[in-house]
Amino acid sequence: MNISHEQLQLLINHCGYGIGNINSDKVKTLIIGNESGTGDAINTKEFIKELEVKDLSVSITSEAYPSRSAFLQFIARIVRALEGREGQWFEPKDNCNVWNEIRMGFYSESAHLIDIRPLPRTTEGESWQYKNIDKKNYERGFKKLKSKDTFIEEMISLRIKFLQSQIKSYPNLKYIIAPGDAPMKKKFLEMLFPQLKFNSIEIKTSKKTMTYFKGNVGEINILVCPFFNHQNGIGYEGLEQAFELVK
């Protein structure tokens, strides 16, 4: 598909998922992802078409469609723990007494999810859908948050300005958690908060040793960590340690 200028603007200005665009005062936890999936839409074209005609920003999942995404379930776990809700939020499914709540996805009245890259894909491994945008330049540009390609550079600049404005609109923000692609997320957060200084922390679980980055700006605790899942990411142990660090 050739994405139109209007569609691209719509995606660049897409504010993510959760409560933030309805009531910014309620946002206490912000999750920064890489790029949006396509939800229940069958492909990217369908997702953009739906985005043009209805509001997809209230909830990324509904009770009718429990989330099968480990990423979204990990968000549900840590967000609900940060809200102080009782439950075994960091236990595997079979030992978890709040699994039914986790499987419904991350949606919460205190959390919002944004993505750095504006173009949605069903998965990062799917064939490239945007014929009039160079895939290599796009991915390389958003990894470095700058590009020699003037079109991609403008897209990056517009997206960063939009996200910076959005994040600064949350007056009661307490936690920012950025899982995956640590160099890019660290750079973005350092651009957003020039006074931010990160400390590198080694985290050991029963499976591996990982590096997390922690900092704070005023009352906001900020954590950059490996990706949220239990196969090649931080796992339940790493997620619990992320909770302890950011809390």
State the pLDDT confidence band at 200, using cuts at 50, 70 and 90. very high
The per-residue pLDDT for 73 is 92
Residue % of the chain over a pLDDT of 90 = 69
Q: Which of 22-31, 43-52, 177-186 shows the lowest per-residue confidence on average (mean pLDDT)? A: 43-52
Query: Of the segments 53-57, 67-71, 141-145, which one has the largest average pLDDT value?
Result: 141-145
Rounded mean pLDDT of 9-34?
89
The alpha-carbon radius of gyration of the chain (Å, integer) is 18
**b/e per residue 153-178 (b: at least 16 CB within 10 A):** eebbeebbebbeebbeebeebbbbbb
> Per residue in 159-173, pLDDT tens?
999 999 999 999 999
Q: What is the DSSP string of 94-152?
A: GG-TTHHHHTT-S--TTEEEEEEE-S--SSTTSPP--TTS-HHHHHHHHHHT--SSHHH
Q: Is 61 helix (H, G, I), strand (E, B) or coil?
A: coil
In the chain, what are the domain boundaries? 5-199
The per-residue pLDDT for 66 is 54
Q: Is 170 helix (H, G, I), strand (E, B) or coil?
A: coil
pLDDT above 90 for 181? yes
The per-residue pLDDT for 232 is 76
The per-residue pLDDT for 31 is 96
Q: How many residues are there in the chain?
A: 247
pLDDT above 90 for 21? no
> Per residue in 67-111, pLDDT tens?
678 899 999 999 999 999 999 999 999 999 999 889 887 778 899
Contacts of residue 230, Cβ cutoff 8 Å, sequence gap at least 6? 70, 74, 92, 236
pLDDT above 70 for 6? yes
The per-residue pLDDT for 106 is 76
pLDDT, averaged across the chain: 89
Q: Is 221 helix (H, G, I), strand (E, B) or coil?
A: strand
pTM reported for the whole predicted model: 0.93
